A and B are shown apart, each in its own frame.
Chain A
């Protein structure tokens, strides 16, 4: 399941954020915890999705950007989790959090290239909070709550390949669109795709490379077992050599010498 966001169609009605809070039982009364310098509200533990307002480079265009977890193809958070509390659901493509398994190390918060996962800082036993792409709804064949609530057609859900094809068709048919689908290749690609008529860097999107960040840890961890085995062999080899040298020396010095006597000194 993937979602295509057409930024030109969003009117900023916040219907999706309300639907998200209702479906996921988030606290409506919680004050925004993270407010950016430009006044836009950032995600927090009670806001799994937010609408942010941008005015374009020349202050001439008003655009609304829905922000939430992009559900990467190669999720850094899931790869970073050392207790498998974040897993990528193969069927739906959603990156889902399992609170029971979570230790609370917050490596996922630091690992995410988009800084999406947030933490319940005011709770006694805090958990990570991020968009789950309404995985229960999606596995039943429904669209995520936010997509169902969208009245303007800015959000469409469906198969990722088909949505990508559709996105490129829209871009080709209308010259005002920027020739880029954000989320197609970014850090290995994501389930959420964005198209826009304003350059993405003016809409608060982070410029990232196309290399999945998980590839660095993968290539490192693939080398570890071999190197560790070599190191272990080397150490035990030298240890055995030392042992034999000591044994020989003791035999030459005094064949009846007790090993334990050395240790006494």
Chain B
């Protein structure tokens, strides 16, 4: 049982593991692709065409990225407003994941726009009739608010005397602002598709789309927090009591049930059952999405399986994959002919690179600031002998400030 090699450069901890070498390599590859993309346009890096103008960067990096970052606002809502104090242990981790998620989303969006030097235009030239306008403003404001909220954690170590108390003072206001905007743009992300009524497959288009996106961002949020804490447990040996995680996911599952009811109402009201059982690619994808992303997770969460860690993790993984599939379906399956688009190698390199970058930044921040369970984490080598691991972990557990 050993702790990984850790270098201290200028007072900061840099842990070196083989995985992080690989991740750094992927980030380097991404940088090459990004430079090529920004200098040459879309032709060499992407597979986008006039038929398929939105590709992997929008459907996966932006749509899924924003949804996955929903953990930040849903946890903040439960902890700060509705006063579920027991969830406080996951709040900082969720905040960090959200912030990273949004920064990566902005990076993905920046790469996806053609005239990237013009990215600031909507701040000046207000296209207020567009839902994208609302999304753009909300994401910009929310990322700023998230950064300031996270700055509270940063200033616990850096500039503590100068800035920390001011940020603590404005924090309650920030928390409220930081809950208005994510709710607005999570729903508006669904609202983006309202205008595509004539192009989308009827099973996905609905006037409830904004509500669907909002609800699903909420339940994917708690599922993502579950996955994140499980990963943090294997890497950092920090454990969060199972009953807290179960309670958190149950709240998410409640939202999922509301989502299912709405979807069913939609099907009955618009008489769309014949589309569900058409046997075409679209209807099969819809069935897969609803069965594995909604129905099975709901069964797991009400069954005794949820009392076991594996069961809860299965619920979380299925939920996350289900929502990702939903977003991809909304863009690809419902609008493009099958097989007309597959992401190019450059698009995949950039997406993978962005995620790797996120993981690396997460690890660095978690090891240098009090985030997981309000203390600095130390990565331990994975060991099957759990008792020894826990023993070492308690030895390592020091509240450094």
Q: Which residue of A lies closest to B152 (CB)?
A: A263
A104 touches B115 (CB 8 A): yes
* B113 interface residue per 8 A CB criterion: yes
Which residues of chain B from 277 to 300 have a CB within 8 Å of any chain A CB?
none
* A251 interface residue per 8 A CB criterion: no
A121-B43 contact given A103-B121, A110-B196, CB 8 Å threshold: yes
Q: Which residue of B lies closest to A263 (CB)?
A: B168
B115 touches A232 (CB 8 A): no
The docked-state distance in angstroms from the alpha carbon of A119 to that of B136 is 22
With a cutoff of 8 Å between Cβ atoms, the chain B residues found around residue A146 in the complex are none
Contact indicator per residue, chain B 16-44, by CB within 8 Å of chain A (1) or not (0): 00000000000000000000000111110
B119 touches A103 (CB 8 A): yes
B6 vs chain A, min Cβ distance (A): 27
With a cutoff of 8 Å between Cβ atoms, the chain B residues found around residue A26 in the complex are none
Which residues of chain A from 68 to 105 have a CB within 8 Å of any chain B CB?
76, 78-85, 101-105
Interface size class for chain A? Answer: 35 or more
The docked-state distance in angstroms from the alpha carbon of A76 to that of B39 is 31
A33 touches B195 (CB 8 A): no
Interface size class for chain B? Answer: 35 or more
A105-B132 contact given A216-B195, A232-B180, CB 8 Å threshold: yes
Contact indicator per residue, chain B 78-92, by CB within 8 Å of chain A (1) or not (0): 001111000000000
With a cutoff of 8 Å between Cβ atoms, the chain B residues found around residue A121 in the complex are 41-43, 48-50
Residue A101 contacts which of B82, B121, B128 (CB distance < 8 angstroms)? Answer: B121
Contact indicator per residue, chain B 107-121, by CB within 8 Å of chain A (1) or not (0): 000001111111101
B50 touches A33 (CB 8 A): yes
The docked-state distance in angstroms from the alpha carbon of A69 to that of B189 is 27
The docked-state distance in angstroms from the alpha carbon of A115 to that of B129 is 20
* B131 interface residue per 8 A CB criterion: yes
With a cutoff of 8 Å between Cβ atoms, the chain B residues found around residue A85 in the complex are 121, 125, 127
A220-B131 contact given A103-B115, A125-B41, CB 8 Å threshold: yes
A34 touches B41 (CB 8 A): no
With a cutoff of 8 Å between Cβ atoms, the chain B residues found around residue A263 in the complex are 168
Residue A107 contacts which of B116, B130, B183 (CB distance < 8 angstroms)? Answer: B130
* B148 interface residue per 8 A CB criterion: no
B347 vs chain A, min Cβ distance (A): 14
Contact indicator per residue, chain B 183-227, by CB within 8 Å of chain A (1) or not (0): 110001001101111110000000100100000000000000000
* A160 interface residue per 8 A CB criterion: no
Which residues of chain A from 25 to 62 have a CB within 8 Å of any chain B CB?
33-34, 42-44
Which residues of chain B from 36 to 75 have a CB within 8 Å of any chain A CB?
39-43, 48-51, 53-54
| Interface residues of chain B: helix, strand, loop or mixed (majority) | helix
B134 touches A221 (CB 8 A): yes
With a cutoff of 8 Å between Cβ atoms, the chain A residues found around residue B129 in the complex are 78-80, 214, 217-218, 221
Q: Which residue of A lies closest to B180 (CB)?
A: A232
Which residues of chain A from 101 to 142 have a CB within 8 Å of any chain B CB?
101-107, 109-111, 113, 115, 118-127
* A13 interface residue per 8 A CB criterion: no
A235-B48 contact given A80-B195, A126-B42, A126-B114, CB 8 Å threshold: no
A245 vs chain B, min Cβ distance (A): 9
B92 vs chain A, min Cβ distance (A): 13
With a cutoff of 8 Å between Cβ atoms, the chain B residues found around residue A216 in the complex are 194-195, 197, 207
Q: Which residue of A lies closest to B48 (CB)?
A: A121
* B364 interface residue per 8 A CB criterion: no
A235 touches B197 (CB 8 A): no
With a cutoff of 8 Å between Cβ atoms, the chain B residues found around residue A104 in the complex are 113-116, 118
Residue A106 contacts which of B82, B114, B125 (CB distance < 8 angstroms)? Answer: B114
* B172 interface residue per 8 A CB criterion: yes
Residue A127 contacts which of B50, B115, B117 (CB distance < 8 angstroms)? Answer: B115
B180 touches A224 (CB 8 A): no
Q: Which residue of B lies closest to A128 (CB)?
A: B114
* B179 interface residue per 8 A CB criterion: yes
A-B pairs, 4 with minimum CB distance: A104-B114, A113-B198, A82-B133, A109-B53
> 27 A-B contacts, Cβ less than 8 Å apart?
A44-B50, A80-B130, A81-B130, A82-B122, A101-B118, A101-B125, A102-B114, A103-B119, A110-B335, A113-B199, A119-B53, A125-B114, A125-B117, A206-B198, A213-B196, A216-B207, A220-B194, A221-B131, A221-B191, A224-B184, A232-B176, A232-B180, A235-B176, A235-B179, A235-B180, A239-B80, A242-B83
